Each structure stands twice: as structure tokens, then as C-alpha cells.
Amino acid sequence: MRIETTLGTKLTEYALEKDEVMVFKPRVEEAQRQAKIEMKQLIDERGKKGSVLRGTQGRKRGPPGSSRDNMDAEEG
């Protein structure tokens, strides 16, 4: 499982009744649907000023050490 790999440990398996778990299925499906809608909205707004997921395409980075942070460094 991906969770076990991320945690680096083996989790104990719990015995579950299928009927008890399936009670939550409609809520899970609704949450997935809502998350999909919200992600679509964020992607559609991408690039607009002040948006959450502003694109960085087209922006080039200079060579290492050429940032504006080093502008005031003394030469020589």
C-alpha cells in the first residue's frame, strides 16, 4: 500500500463488515465529486491575477547564483 510505503511501516489489518463500510460510500462519492469541481475551478482560474494556482510557464530562471539577492554583494 502507498500509505505503508510512505510511513515506512506495516499497518495492522482490521476485519471489517462490508455492509458497515458501504454506508459511507455515498458520502465518499459526493466528496470526490466536490473535490473534482473545486480543482476544475482552480485550474480554470489559473493565470488570473491573485489566483491560487498561478502559472509559472514562460518564466525563465537564470544561472545559479544570479539571483537578485546577490545584487548588493561587493565585487572582487
Q: Does residue 55 form part of some domain? A: no
- Mean pLDDT of all residues in 7-13: 92
Contacts of 3 by beta carbon, 8 Å cutoff, 6+ apart: 11
How is 19-56 classified by DSSP, letter by letter? HHHHTTHHHHHHHHHHHHHHHHHHHHTTTSTT-TT---
Query: pLDDT by residue (tens digit) across 12-67?
Result: 998 999 999 999 999 999 999 999 999 999 888 876 666 566 555 555 666 666 66
Q: Which helix (H) or strand (E) holds 18?
A: helix 18-22
Q: Does residue 38 form part of some domain? A: yes
Domain of residue 44 covers 17-48
pTM score of the predicted model:
0.47
Q: Does residue 70 form part of some domain? A: no
Q: Does residue 7 form part of some domain? A: no
Q: 60 in helix, strand or coil?
A: coil
